[in-house]
Amino acid sequence: MTFAAGGGSVGRRDAWYHKPDVRRLGASLGVGLVLALVTGKDGRSGHFGSGIAAALGGVRVPSFLAVGLALWGVATGINRYGDEMRRALAPATAARKRVTGNATFRTTSLLVMLVVAIGIPPMLSSFWQGVLVEQVGIFMLLAVGLNVVVGWAGLLDLGYIAFYAIGAYTTAYFTGTLPVQPPIVLNPFLCFPLAVLACLLAGVLLGAPTLRLRGDYLAIVTLGFGEIVRIVANNSDGITNGSRGATNIPHFSIHLLGINYDWTLNSLPYWYLIMVVLAVVVLLFFRLEHSRIGRAWAAVREDEVAAQASGVATVKIKLLAFAIGASTSGLAGVIYASKIGFISPDNFLLILSISVLAYVVFGGMGSLFGVMVGAALLTWLPQFLRDYVPATDRNLYIGAILVLMMIFRPAGLLPARRRRTELSLHDIPEAETVAVPAPGSMGGSI
């Protein structure tokens, strides 16, 4: 925005339309126009331009331009008086930090959340209870798992949903709903350890040859893995029942020591089950994050060479992240398979891998609480928008939110301390290098 102020060539850059305020006004009005277009009427085939004409007609354009103008006013105001505003609000910010950093506050808010998680769902309609289980709960669990891989170990995994599929198919196999029969048919509860084991194994099998790769290469390989698992499930008719999938997977049930309880089509009991599983997983992961393993992950993520030189077995530690993340999604797979009772390869599309990754990034990579909030918000939002916008436009709004988030809060909604520091470090590398003379130039005494 300070383009015009920057020295260098004079002349055209000083023109009135290069002034920051004017440029900002143009951008705001442009945004208003785009909004008017995308929220307008749909086009019709055969009538080229009818959609655009309809969208631009009537009072829509002026009203959206007014919104743009208002945005411009706010942006200009913040630009002019932002520092003074921040200064005026400094005591309030400090007070907020004092309260939120307080241990009692944290315990209290945790208790409040617990009460909400237990008390609110029974009051919801069965539709929203279903959303809570099949979307919010399952994806919170998946996001917590992927956070280990992406947020802590810093490995970009684009095929994460494959492990979810493996967990679900393991359940289908051991409950005897696939064409191949297991040695003994088990209750879905007993599938938890088996699914975890299967996913651990799959994670190690995928990770061992590929974790020597870095960044982009790993992303491509995992992307391929995700598709391979789905396509194998789709094409192995004799084993997975192909595209017809597994049907009639039994619900959870307890018949133990006189306690008899069956999970049914009702979603609510599943919500509580997910909450218990999630609570256990989060507790274990919280400990892990603050242990030797968590620090080793952070070390590998920040500087792999230095980590190796400090004795960290980097391949092993990355493999561990992969395996732990994979087994978490195995848990989610079991719950999903048993809740829905039906799985097919279409439940494990690439878009889900991308979505879970988006939840993790949106919530704040590396922050256990953040990724749960991210997953909950972004799975709730499409269902909420269902009543307000056309179904085809829903992803547009989600995408816009993600883009805005990355621009204004790149570390995510509730960033982890370590990650926040890493991101803020990217803003100041120049200062560091200026302060430090090049190593070679220090030999001046020789």
Select from 10, 92, 257, 305 the one that contacts other proteins (CB under 8 A).
Answer: 305
Residue 446 binds other proteins, judged by CB under 8 A: yes
Angle, helices 215-235 vs 161-174, to 10°: value is 30
Question: What is the nearest approach in angstroms of other proteins to the Cβ of residue 435?
Answer: 6
Q: Please report, as residue ranges, which positions from 268 to 297 form the binding site for other proteins (by CB under 8 A).
A: 284-285, 287-288, 291-293, 295-296
Question: What is the nearest approach in angstroms of other proteins to the Cβ of residue 18?
Answer: 37
Question: What is the nearest approach in angstroms of other proteins to the Cβ of residue 415?
Answer: 11
| Rounded distance between C-alpha atoms, residue 176 and residue 430, angstroms | 61
Q: Please report, as residue ranges, which positions from 162 to 221 form the binding site for other proteins (by CB under 8 A).
A: none
| Rounded distance between C-alpha atoms, residue 75 and residue 9, angstroms | 28
Q: Please report, as residue ranges, which positions from 386 to 445 form the binding site for other proteins (by CB under 8 A).
A: 417-419, 421-422, 425, 435-437, 439-440, 442-445
Select from 303, 386, 390, 395 the one that contacts other proteins (CB under 8 A).
Answer: 303
Which of these segments, 84-92, 209-217, 239-247, 298-306, binds other proteins (CB under 8 A)? 298-306
Is 338 within 8 Å of 186 (Cβ atoms)?
no
The CA-CA-CA angle for residues 378, 380, 383, to 5°, reads: 115
Tell me the torsion sign for CA atoms 313, 315, 320, 321.
positive
* Residue 218 one-letter amino acid: L
Question: What is the nearest approach in angstroms of other proteins to the Cβ of residue 332?
Answer: 18
Nearest to 422 by CA among 341, 382, 344, 366: 366
Token reading at 175: 């409950």
Q: Within 13 Å and on the Cβ side, how many CA atoms surround 68?
A: 21
User: Which C-beta is closer to other proteins: that of 282 or that of 354?
Assistant: 282
Neighbours of 294 (CB within 10 A): 20
User: Which C-beta is closer to other proteins: that of 263 or that of 285?
Assistant: 285
Nearest to 163 by CA among 298, 30, 27, 352: 352
Question: What is the nearest approach in angstroms of other proteins to the Cβ of residue 155?
Answer: 16
Question: What is the nearest approach in angstroms of other proteins to the Cβ of residue 418?
Answer: 5
Site string for other proteins, 306-345 (x = CB under 8 A): xxxxxxxxx-----x---x---------------------
Question: What is the nearest approach in angstroms of other proteins to the Cβ of residue 305?
Answer: 6
DSSP secondary structure, 128-151, as one string:
HHHHIIIIIIHHHHHHHHHIIIII
User: Which C-beta is closer to other proteins: that of 11 or that of 444?
Assistant: 444
Question: What is the nearest approach in angstroms of other proteins to the Cβ of residue 427?
Answer: 12
User: Which C-beta is closer to other proteins: that of 165 or that of 361?
Assistant: 361
| Rounded distance between C-alpha atoms, residue 313 and residue 299, angstroms | 11
Residue 261, SS3 per DSSP: strand
Token reading at 355: 């979505």
List residues binding other proteins (CB under 8 A): 284-285, 287-288, 291-293, 295-296, 298-299, 302-303, 305-314, 320, 324, 417-419, 421-422, 425, 435-437, 439-440, 442-446
